[in-house]
Structure 1
């Protein structure tokens, strides 16, 4: 409130506070005001356990709905620890999602509300319409049964779930409004050459004031691969004056097109047509093009990296590290372990300690990780 009061100081504007415990009084104040601003939060500091609901707690939803009915110029400012439902969304004039705010939250919020700063944030998660829409919505998935939790959503995590199941979210991943508008045009998708393709597009500020947009690039694999419909592979933040345009360019690599092949135990790029999409959220992708891949390839510059391995001294190890089509060598393996030319690391560690292991393929690719042997 202090931030808002400081912002209107000297303008003749009166800022009146009501804590909302008496809904009737809050509604009466909203009805007599030019603008009503409702601040709401959920179990803000809850990081030690999972939530049982994504609704705002207590009477918040009822309060917001009644205030909005009394004053259509109602703005809701949320500070939540994740996505939340908004049953009153169609009643209010606007919503600001602040998530975890800092010490200057009042000043920052006032700057956004009064238009001194142009909001440019994008949602890092999808906001579902209800808890039943989220990927892990069954008891078997959470909290689990018989001390077991099923990760049955598989690759369909986050926005990939909503796209795969054709569920419309309340707000999609990557969404965020601004006090200006942006347009996208002139998509160019280059051919894959030496494992790379260049994708470019024009972004134009079509509004009346300067603003910032986050341009997002998504890739959709051929249906036969079994991947989710599309995945974010790049993004760029651009700031433009009103009416100005710029060209953004992305490099799409063979790794961006690859999937983990559990049969060959390697990253694999399938032959076929990949869809390239550009826009400003996972559900607003006005530009689409195709990128053709003519042969199944195993990227020679990619080796799986476990980012750390561990095994007890005296216990036999057998780990199929490599993929077919290459031979392998390794340095730094713990004493007692070795790697075959086919890429199988096996043996029994003889001493406890930490080793830095580098595995190199005949293709020239290599990867380095730490292997810890425990007593």
Structure 2
């Protein structure tokens, strides 16, 4: 379900814009994977057009298709522009253009809510280049996959994840706020400013540094990403040296599927003469594990992992003191921590 299921996106975006030799759409990817093993029904669901609102007829067709199916997959979200036959049509989700908000355009919220009600076994695949407001229906969705703009082979890749041939291991490189007003550029800053002038009042509190420090719960945190298996963290050991530290941690795949986990190491200075974030990502490592397998991984934290830029001295400074080293699977999911002195 969804026009993004059958729409090619390579011809938009600005610097990512290419005349691709070919592009596998999500719908084609599912057809390639399943072949004649299943009956695939497609419904457009919404129209991609300027100022387009929800289309009751298209929603009704999508609901009918979902109701008559074992499961439904909605490909929704954003688009670079509207008419890709025009090389310079990058009028929506593209560089050089500010989107008006984080909302789903084209009446997609109404579509998703109706389809979820018709068939609870619905997977929602988000297409786009950044956070999307999913607050209207997220609590009723059983599965959500972030597809971004996946490129020429994107349809095949998404199909393999949806049907379990590939175990996903991606992590969000940004925070998804629950609503736009929760973001630091709006909460602390002045975006979009006045008369072409914006003061960046948020300072260092951007991204997860803001959400963690100000205790604002996001929709999906920086570093968040699920797997079809489960990983256990244990035996964190941090050895402090001269202006550096070595982190060792044991990761075990306690599930039934082979998979990969991205271990994230955050650093917090317990007391500082300048205002610093609650914690900052300073190292990460991806580890591949078979079911039941465990590995001890080692990560180095050099001097720059503990430094901050001193505006008065105009240089990077390592202020001696106590630091907390945290290991987790996302910025809001810290599983182990240890304190050291430098």
Give the TM-score of the pair, scaled to structure 1.
0.75
Q: Is the 8 A contact 1:43 1:57 kept in 2?
A: no
* Matches of 1:265 and 1:90, distance apart in 2: 47
Provide structure 1 residue ranges, at least 5 long, that are not aligned to the other structure: 294-375
- 2:58 corresponds to 1:40: no
- 2:159 corresponds to 1:110: yes
User: Counterpart in 2 of 1:159?
Assistant: 208
User: How far has the Cα of 1:263 moved from its partner?
Assistant: 2.1
Q: Is the 8 A contact 1:27 1:67 kept in 2?
A: yes
* Matches of 1:291 and 1:163, distance apart in 2: 21
Alpha-carbon RMSD: 1.4
Matches within 5 A, 1:276-315: 276-293=325-342
* Matches of 2:259 and 2:318, distance apart in 1: 38
Provide structure 2 residue ranges, at least 5 long, that are not aligned to the other structure: 1-26, 47-57, 81-92
CA gap of 1:118–1:139, structure 2 versus 1, over 3 A, is closer
* Matches of 1:16 and 1:67, distance apart in 2: 14
User: Counterpart in 2 of 1:9?
Assistant: 35
Q: Which structure: greater strand fraction?
A: 1
The answer to which structure, 1 or 2, has the higher relative contact order (CA under 8 A, 6+ apart) is: 2
Aligned partner of 2:142 among 62, 73, 93? 93
SS of 2:123's partner is strand
- 2:264 corresponds to 1:188: no
- 2:37 corresponds to 1:20: no
Offset from partner CA, 1:333-352 (integer Å, 9 cap, x none): xxxxxxxxxxxxxxxxxxxx
User: How far has the Cα of 1:140 moved from its partner?
Assistant: 6.1
Matches within 5 A, 1:121-200: 121-137=170-186, 141-193=190-242, 195-200=243-248
User: How far has the Cα of 1:139 moved from its partner?
Assistant: 9.9
Moved more, 166-175 or 223-232: 223-232
CA gap of 1:139–1:222, structure 2 versus 1, over 3 A, is closer
Query: Number of residue pairs matched?
Result: 291
User: Counterpart in 1 of 2:270?
Assistant: 222
* Matches of 1:107 and 1:263, distance apart in 2: 53
Give the TM-score of the pair, scaled to structure 2.
0.82
SS of 2:41's partner is coil
User: How far has the Cα of 1:141 moved from its partner?
Assistant: 1.9
Aligned partner of 1:65 among 110, 113, 130? 113
CA gap of 1:281–1:138, structure 2 versus 1, over 3 A, is closer
